[in-house]
Structure 1
Amino acid sequence: MPQTPSLTQHLLDLQRAGTLPAQYPRLGALLAEADEAELARAGRLLSRLDPEAVLAEHPSAPALTVAVTGSGTVASVAPALAAEAARHSLVLRTVVSSYDSWLFDLTDPTSELYAARPDLVLCVLDPTSLLAGLPTPWTVDDLRQTLDARLALVEKAADQFSAASEGTLVLNTPPLLRSLTGQLVDLRSRARAGALWREANIRLLRIAESHPAVVVIDTDPLVAEVPAQDPRWSAYAKAHLSPEFLARYAREAGHLARHLAGRTKKVLALDLDGTLWGGILGDDGSEGISIGEGPAGEAFAAFQRVVRQIGSQGVLLAAVSKNDPEPVDEVLRHRHGMELRPDDFVRVTANWQPKHLNLTDLTDALNLGVDSVVFLDDSPYECGLVRRELPGVAVVPLDDEPALHIEKLLRDGWFDTRELTAEDRKRSLRYRDELVRKDFQHGFDSIQDYLDELGVTVSLDPARDSDVPRLSQITLRTNQFNLTTRRRQPADVQALLDDPEALVLAVRSTDRFGDNGVVGAVFARREGRALVIDNFLLSCRVFARGIEQTCLTALLRHAAATGADAVYGAYLPSPRNGKVAEFYPRHGFTAADTVPGLDERLFRHDLRDLPKVPAHIHLDTPLEGLTP
């Protein structure tokens, strides 16, 4: 039976039975391999689903409010967004503005867009956004003046949004249409018009450089996949971008929404046979596999180069293969044509254990959740098994056509992030070092003996402007040791740094194996004579070393030394932060009054019995109240 009707019918059956909200977390697996037509149909159905009904069934599900505005009819963005949200298990409250209202929406702080307090604003710019006011007839000079005037309005809107909203604004480069340049009959003028349009889009792309709250989607890659406009939709419905184009746009926006919700993936786990090379190593031998030579071998090598490029930007690469370890190691170290080598991976697992168990062992060793993994394999059996046993893993099924591997890997932007930091580029090395630490630990009779020899130094310092991207990233990516799971964009962190009543601290650590970099953050503020910890976060790489106790001790002693009579801390449960539910009570806090109807739990420390820094840790901090 074809997949498309059965999937559509399944969703309809859930809707008619009234169980669609309850089954919402399962939709990601159902939609994982849906084609474009099926996603469009699913989106139309899911856009009618009440997000509050879903949240009533799943109150801890990640939820965002999204406002959609633009210069044309943009209502068709909502169904495409609904499908993308379901694929990634996000709940979106989507508010769509009326026709051609983008300028008013963004420049008037009393607009309905601002009233919705959106986490994400999609301002869909089509070619008419930049062409309003172009006279008839027109010349290239007229086009230049019109583009300058319209871009000034876009920049004004970005300025206003940055000043008035705590959300993220998404702009895009409008595609250049043949229906515009074709109006010029001489090729020289046509070329000048094309240059002007591209210069305008470059100017748009650079808005993000000066506005931390703005993201700009470059639509050139989307235009390479689908037509940018359907003349009939444009003429009769004022929808100046095609439904197919808007579906691709919604996919890009969905990747950003997933990132803002803290659902960015961290690990790329790859099969070997049929995935990184052609053939079966156990049957064909090292020289018999296809890699680097011939059309198929060159396609596998090109795929490996893309994987290595992704790994160079902080994504943790792992190999998970049903093979004997010795021949795998031989291929990775010495086989000509290989682009990936052992040092590119945080771990290479080659054994005959089921792959879902190997993935669980991998994430346990890295101290990550299985939902941080993207898994690629050419075996339908292995993909199906992992999808069934580990539903949090993003499974990307491949096939026997290696030329399509790159497209399938990149399609969903699993690792997309707002900004790459220096910490990202060092992440793979630091996780490999962490596995060495664990091997080192096995040589000791007790954890305390291990910690004594590890030589941990913790620095707890007021954050600097240069720390802002990393601290924002920690709030977006850290899920386990995250007391309230409040996500903060760079502009939010910068605003706290500029607030004299706020205290923003960066946590750094080193040990005998090297520098771990910025591994945590503390956000606090003064309220009268109390210090309130808004959030406390720590990277999963450095759990269980006493760093969390050290930082909390430093903060309590600082509060006492600066006249506070109490410190308050909140814990807001989430699906991933259960291990820190008792963090405050374990360190001398007692339950305080909470707000009825809210899940947030509040704790209070009276500063009478102050803890000590663990003996195995050296604390380096300029905070008042602590001795060097």
Structure 2
Amino acid sequence: MVEKTDDTLRSLHERGRVAAEYPRVRGLVRGAGVAETRWAGNLLARIGADAVLAEHPDTPVVSVAFTGHSTVSGLVAPVTAELARHGLLLRPHVSDFDGYVFDLSDTASELYSAKPDAVVCLLDASVVFDEVPVPWEPEDVRRIFDEKLTLLDGLATSFAGAGQGTLVFNTLPLPREWTAQLIGVRDRARLGAVWREANARLLRLMDRHPALTVLDFDPLLGADLPLRDDRLGVYTHTEFSPEAHAAYARDVAHLLRAATGRAKKCLVLDLDNTVWGGILGDDGIEGIEVAGSYRGEAFRRLQRTARQVASQGVLLAAVSKNDLDPVREVLRSHPDMTLREDDFVRVVANWRPKHDNLRELAAELNLGVDSFVFADDSPYECGLVVRELPDVAVVALDEEPALHVEKLLRDGWFDVRDITVDDLKRPERYREELDRKDFLHGFSSLDDYLRELDVQVRFADASPAELARVSQLTLRTNQFNLTTERLQQSEVAERAAAPGSLVLTIRSGDRFGDNGVVGAVLAHREGDELVIDNFLLSCRVFARGIEQACLSAVLGHARDQGLRSVRAGYRPSAKNGKVQDFYPGNGFRPAGGGTDGAPTLYRHDLAEIPAPPDHIRLTLSLGGLHQ
């Protein structure tokens, strides 16, 4: 039975136990309604991040500065609640009313001094209409909006030079208050065109500024979501209603979740009454609903949505209580199916508990179960997965298939700022990886397997086109990530351009295909020492000797450049324990650190550099380290 969120949190609060039992909060808030989420956000914001960290010091924290033209304090509670749904804490910095120009243009401002991970600059129509004359015409609005776009462009440039992390703008919704003041319908149409054209230009600022994300407000608005509360707007300069703040906070939380490396990677679908209507074992292949009826069209809509999501690099899998052969027959030959067997990286159909199948699927794909989103129409199956695998994001569908798509997309589980070429190739590469594992079963030893696999590695300076992928690796790689430092694309580019700095990419391939960019090494020179800032490798290519080959190359390159040693660090996290001995296992010796959250340091004197594994074909193109 699902606990009622407000009652449970209220009870914990009354007993002073919210911080102590914070790990429970994620599950409780995740299933809450709008009113319950608002109540939870206010409660959690009052408790604050520090109280939770005192009890659970490993809880991830996101520091966010809120600024804007209007009053922005109303965003803190809903963003707190939305982040709690994803296991994150919010450390907010709230600017004064109408402080965004000063905050972002002055590098000495309190906003920059706070060193936030992200800056959310909330924009609204008053940014423009506060400066139009009275009376006004659509051309006056065009002129003012053009000036504001120039200003915002400049503020994004200032942020790129002085800030860190992500800057968030939003498009400006147009309240009816302003269109209704024009009594000519043609003038209203002109105003609408001016406004939409300006918002389109605002959205395109993302193309010019890698650190900027512009969230589109229009898709959030609907008949049941008031844009503005006039009393709050007039008396407190809060230009968005609490409901609009909550909807916007959800999108902000999705963005922050992705920026901390927590975007999901795999969508796992049930089949009966999820992908198609009916029970395959009872109704037969001819009896299931796929198209040609109202309900059938609803299931086809879900299939089209899943295929669209998968086309952008999300892995698609199926886990169903069914016999495998009939499932394959449906996916291969049913004339009305949109999803086919080749759309899935794996189809699991048996009568075992689904949480066991999900565990095994994660092991096969070399992913954590926290990379999974699982959608099922059965309350029993959903509840069992929530209980047994709390890190899996569960989308509870029901008997109404027309609502499947909205529920699947509501939480933006797979949202990222950019999609790379490697993302688009990910499903194909994971299928190849499953073929590699099948290939492994034919060998009596791992050494024989690796020799026959014919692993090829190119270790080279990152090209400009690869910087987005390097950023993505820092954001999304959790297991082989030695320091867990998260970098936006602009920060990676800054390091790549710095004298004495290395940003290196690891490309791999083998007899089954090209894996693309699977890893990165970031380093810089300090005097006569090379410092490895981070070493990252995709979980898809673990245990093939690639990491040893590239580390050997880094050590050899440092010695060739006349350096005396290489220093590196390891900062433990909940996910990277398997690589804690990577440096000492490759000839590094302890060099201090490891207290107060600092990484444990290791140093290699370059006297004896381990040779790369002989089964690796390694190609090097490493730049100089001149300061």
TM-score by length of 2: 0.98
Residues 128, 141 of structure 2: 8 Å contact kept = no
Between 1:581-590 and 1:140-149, the stretch displaced more is 140-149
Which of 4, 19, 22 pairs up with 2:20? 22
Amino acid at match of 1:289: I
1:174 aligns with 2:172: yes
Amino acid at match of 2:158: Q
Residues 118, 164 of structure 2: 8 Å contact kept = no
* Distance apart, 1:99 and its partner CA: 1.2
In 2: Cα distance, 1:571 partner to 1:596 partner: 12
**Long gaps (5+) in structure 2:** none
Determine the structure 1 residue equivalent to 2:553: 554
Determine the structure 2 residue equivalent to 1:7: 5
Amino acid at match of 2:493: Q
Mapping of residues 333-482 of structure 1, within 5 Å: 333-482=332-481
Residues 38, 77 of structure 2: 8 Å contact kept = yes
SS at match of 2:255: helix
Between 1:52-61 and 1:243-252, the stretch displaced more is 52-61
Which of 36, 57, 60 pairs up with 2:58? 60
Amino acid at match of 1:420: I
CA spacing shift, 1:276–1:163, aligned 2, 3 Å = same
Show CA shifts across 1:487-544 (max 9, x none).
0100000001110111110000010011110000000000111111000000000001
SS at match of 1:574: coil
CA spacing shift, 1:604–1:72, aligned 2, 3 Å = same
Amino acid at match of 1:221: P
* Distance apart, 1:596 and its partner CA: 3.9
* Distance apart, 1:2 and its partner CA: 9.9
CA spacing shift, 1:146–1:529, aligned 2, 3 Å = same
Determine the structure 1 residue equivalent to 2:89: 91
In 1: Cα distance, 2:131 partner to 2:324 partner: 67
Residues 460, 620 of structure 1: 8 Å contact kept = yes
CA spacing shift, 1:291–1:596, aligned 2, 3 Å = closer
Determine the structure 1 residue equivalent to 2:493: 494
SS at match of 2:362: helix
In 2: Cα distance, 1:353 partner to 1:191 partner: 59
SS at match of 1:375: strand
In 1: Cα distance, 2:436 partner to 2:97 partner: 58
Amino acid at match of 2:49: P
Determine the structure 1 residue equivalent to 2:142: 144
In 1: Cα distance, 2:549 partner to 2:175 partner: 59
In 2: Cα distance, 1:389 partner to 1:15 partner: 26
Determine the structure 2 residue equivalent to 1:218: 216
SS at match of 2:486: coil
* Distance apart, 1:33 and its partner CA: 1.6
Determine the structure 1 residue equivalent to 2:542: 543
Residues 63, 90 of structure 1: 8 Å contact kept = yes
In 2: Cα distance, 1:535 partner to 1:597 partner: 19
* Distance apart, 1:394 and its partner CA: 0.4
Determine the structure 1 residue equivalent to 2:604: 605
In 1: Cα distance, 2:546 partner to 2:441 partner: 20
**Long gaps (5+) in structure 1:** none
Amino acid at match of 2:522: F
Residues 556, 610 of structure 1: 8 Å contact kept = yes
Show CA shifts across 1:290-342 (max 9, x none).
11120000010011000000001110000000000010000111112111001
Determine the structure 2 residue equivalent to 1:74: 72
* Distance apart, 1:150 and its partner CA: 2.1
Which of 27, 43, 46 pairs up with 1:45? 43
RMSD of aligned alpha carbons: 1.3
Determine the structure 2 residue equivalent to 1:272: 271
1:131 aligns with 2:129: yes
Show CA shifts across 1:334-392 (max 9, x none).
11211100110010000011000000000000111111100000001100110010110
Determine the structure 1 residue equivalent to 2:592: 593
SS at match of 1:424: helix
Amino acid at match of 1:113: L
In 2: Cα distance, 1:528 partner to 1:332 partner: 61
SS at match of 2:358: helix
Residues 571, 594 of structure 2: 8 Å contact kept = no
How much identity, in percent, do the aligned residues show?
A: 55
Amino acid at match of 2:374: F
CA spacing shift, 1:498–1:2, aligned 2, 3 Å = closer
Residues 572, 601 of structure 1: 8 Å contact kept = yes
Show CA shifts across 1:156-215 (max 9, x none).
221211111012110000101111011111111111111111111011101111011100
Amino acid at match of 1:134: V
Residues 562, 624 of structure 1: 8 Å contact kept = no
Show CA shifts across 1:206-243 (max 9, x none).
11110111000001101236221122221122111111
Between 1:47-56 and 1:321-330, the stretch displaced more is 47-56
In 1: Cα distance, 2:505 partner to 2:55 partner: 37
* Distance apart, 1:595 and its partner CA: 5.8
Amino acid at match of 1:146: I
In 1: Cα distance, 2:179 partner to 2:37 partner: 33
Mapping of residues 246-265 of structure 1, within 5 Å: 246-265=245-264
* Distance apart, 1:13 and its partner CA: 2.0
* Distance apart, 1:17 and its partner CA: 2.4
Q: Which runs of 4+ in 1 moved over 3 A?
A: none
